[in-house]
């Protein structure tokens, strides 16, 4: 028996136990057969659909929309049940302790039926919150675009670029899109920022170049007077598809790179470009993907050939782990790095300026927003599109606008 099958069996056993345990809470608060059979029926349909999609979708197709929705609906029912299980398990522990105390103190076992019903109702009520949130995330949250604005000051910024505005977008993932009107709204929102430069930090597709065919006419509307530049992300290489031949993969990769000029972006493949204004210049440096545990085609040295250490540099690098492990301490001094990749896991809790949390932070030290170390900055864009889970919960799709100022470092 293969490891994959063993893992599937173990996972199925865990889910079965969890489902039985969660169902006990429902039985405690209702005797309705309709409610109970509906609960079981919906769960069975979600799991059956996921299994069907997994076993009927050839690897050569990559991650399909059917797979995304199958995963999305599974998470929509599993995460609320996880909350339910945690609360009920905690109640069981407390109930056992209280029974033991009652036995040793009075010699009698007390009944805690009323307490059990109350906790079950409370647990079901709390579980309904993530359930509703995930449904919203799939229906509307994935298009809930937010514009986040930052102003960054640098002493070494050339005077001519004082007030330069940059719009950063990342992780388009065009293969996941279904609603052209919503995507058009997002593109119009980007243009409304009227930034001098637009910079795209990778993952234009999920896997295949033809995913972008429907969307070229929309994204080529993006406009910036001083230029549009882009880099590749890990998904752009086609590494997550079981290609029939290596030639197919090579041809797809070429087609992915060809998308960028079609929508008016200059793709930087371990190279750089100067932007000049009033006799002064700054460098836009673009590396191919470099990520810890992912494709590491990025070559920072090659990408920086022809520019000087004292030049002001904006580095485009898809994966923020590149900044953490290679860039932030580099003596060549990359003043500002722009990344994406994490999506903030497309789920979490965020109160702007006060609190943010996502499971993504346990994988990436820089996972969403602006960070500074050694006098150098990185902005991790939460992504324009979505992938794997067909929605967003609490971590919304992002358009970043950064204004550069000449002056002392931000307080």
pLDDT, residue 318, reads 98
Q: What is the CATH number of the domain that holds 241?
A: 3.60.21.10
Instruction: Give residue 14's pLDDT.
Output: 78
Both tokens of residue 87? Answer: 């609360």
Residue carrying structure tokens 């790179």: 257
Same domain for 89 and 157, yes or no, is no
DSSP 344: G
Residue 348 DSSP SS3: coil
For residue 411, tell me if it sits in a domain.
no
pLDDT at 123: 86
Q: How confident is the model at residue 4 (pLDDT cuts 50, 70, 90)?
A: low
Close Cβ partners of 346 (under 8 Å, ≥ 6 residues apart): 137, 142, 383, 386, 387, 388, 389, 391, 392, 393, 395
pLDDT of 219 > 90? The answer is yes
Residue 298 lies in a domain: yes
Q: Is residue 167 part of a domain?
A: yes
Domain holding 68, by residue range, is: 3-139
Instruction: From 314, 353, 354, select the one nearest 195 (Cα to Cα).
Output: 314
Question: If you average pLDDT over every residue of the chain, what do you get?
Answer: 91
133 — phi, psi (to 5°)? -65, -40
> Quick check: 222 and 264 in contact, CB under 8 A?
yes
**One domain, residues 62 and 102:** yes
How confident is the model at residue 411, as a pLDDT? Answer: 47
* Same-domain check for residues 168 and 303: yes
Return the pLDDT at 10.
81
d(CA 206, CA 175): 6
For 78-134, what is each residue's pLDDT tens digit? 899 888 888 888 877 877 787 777 777 765 555 556 777 888 888 889 999 999 999
Q: What angle do CA 37, 41, 45 make, to 5 degrees?
A: 180
**Whole-angstrom distance between the N-terminal and C-terminal Cα of the chain?**
59
3-state secondary structure of 285: strand
DSSP type of residue 323: I
CA distance 360 to 341: 11
Q: Are 398 and 383 in contact (CB under 8 A)?
A: yes
Task: Say what the pLDDT of residue 378 is.
Answer: 98
Q: Which two three-digit tokens encode residue 251?
A: 């041809």
Write down the H helix ranges in 154-308: 180-192, 216-219, 246-262, 300-303
Report DSSP state, residue 306. Answer: T
Whole-angstrom CA distances from 171 to 87, 176, 205 are 36, 11, 8
Given this model, what pLDDT does residue 88 score?
A: 82
Specify whether the CB–CB gap between 273 and 283 falls below 8 A. Answer: yes
CB 50 within 8 A of CB 71: yes
In the chain, % of residues over pLDDT 70:
96
What does the block give as tokens for 325? 């492990």
Are 133 and 159 in a shared domain?
Answer: no
Number of domains in the chain: 2
Q: Are residues 132 and 160 in the same domain?
A: no
Q: Could you tell me if 256 and 275 lie in one domain?
A: yes
Chain segment 264-301, per-residue pLDDT in tens? 999 999 999 999 999 999 999 999 999 988 778 999 99
Q: Which of 139, 167, 187 is the last residue of a domain?
A: 139
- At residue 111, the pLDDT reads 56
Query: Are residues 249 and 182 located together in one domain of the fold?
Result: yes
- Same domain (yes/no): 213, 340: yes
| Contact by Cβ (8 Å): 136, 108 | no
Domain assignment present for 206: yes
Whether pLDDT at 239 is above 90: yes
Is pLDDT above 90 for 16?
no
At 21 the three-state DSSP class reads helix
Could you tell me if 87 and 8 lie in one domain? yes
- Tell me the per-residue pLDDT of 31-49, one tens digit each, with 9 for 90 and over: 888 988 998 899 999 999 9
């Amino acid at each position: 028996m293969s490891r994959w099958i063993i893992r599937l069996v173990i996972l199925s056993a865990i889910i079965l136990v969890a489902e039985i345990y969660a169902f006990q809470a429902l039985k405690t608060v209702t005797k309705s057969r309709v409610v109970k059979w509906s609960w079981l029926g919906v769960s069975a349909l979600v799991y059956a659909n996921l299994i069907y999609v997994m076993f009927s979708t050839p690897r050569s197709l990559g991650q399909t929309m059917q797979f995304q929705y199958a995963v999305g609906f599974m998470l929509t029912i599993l995460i609320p049940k996880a909350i339910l299980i945690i609360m009920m398990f905690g109640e069981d522990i407390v109930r056992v302790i209280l029974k033991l105390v009652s036995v040793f103190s009075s010699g009698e076992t007390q009944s805690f039926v009323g307490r059990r019903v109350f906790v079950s109702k409370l647990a079901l009520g709390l579980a309904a919150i993530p359930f509703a949130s995930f449904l919203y995330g799939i229906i509307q949250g994935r298009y809930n675009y937010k514009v986040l604005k930052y102003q960054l000051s640098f002493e070494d910024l050339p005077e001519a670029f004082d007030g330069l505005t940059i719009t950063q977008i990342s992780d388009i993932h065009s293969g996941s899109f279904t609603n052209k009107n919503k995507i058009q709204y997002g593109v119009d929102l980007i243009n409304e920022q009227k930034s001098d430069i637009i910079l795209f930090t990778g993952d234009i597709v999920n896997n295949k170049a033809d995913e972008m065919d429907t969307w070229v006419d929309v994204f080529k509307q993006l406009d910036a007077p001083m230029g549009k530049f882009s880099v590749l992300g890990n998904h752009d290489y086609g590494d997550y598809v079981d290609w029939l031949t290596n030639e197919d993969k090579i041809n797809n990769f070429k087609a992915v790179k060809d998308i960028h000029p079609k929508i008016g972006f200059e793709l930087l493949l371990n190279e750089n470009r100067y932007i000049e204004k009033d006799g002064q210049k700054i460098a836009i440096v673009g590396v191919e993907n470099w990520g810890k545990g992912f494709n590491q085609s990025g070559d920072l040295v090659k990408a920086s050939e022809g520019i000087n250490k004292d030049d002001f540099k904006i580095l485009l690098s898809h994966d923020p782990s590149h900044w953490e492990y290679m860039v932030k301490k580099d003596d060549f001094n990359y003043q500002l790095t722009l990344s994406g990749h994490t999506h903030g896991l497309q789920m979490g809790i965020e109160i702007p300026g006060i609190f943010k949390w996502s499971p993504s932070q346990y994988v990436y030290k820089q996972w969403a927003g602006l960070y500074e170390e050694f006098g150098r900055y990185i902005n991790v864009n939460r992504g324009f599109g979505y992938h794997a889970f067909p929605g967003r919960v609490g971590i919304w799709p992002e358009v970043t606008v950064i204004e550069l100022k000449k002056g002392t470092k931000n307080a």
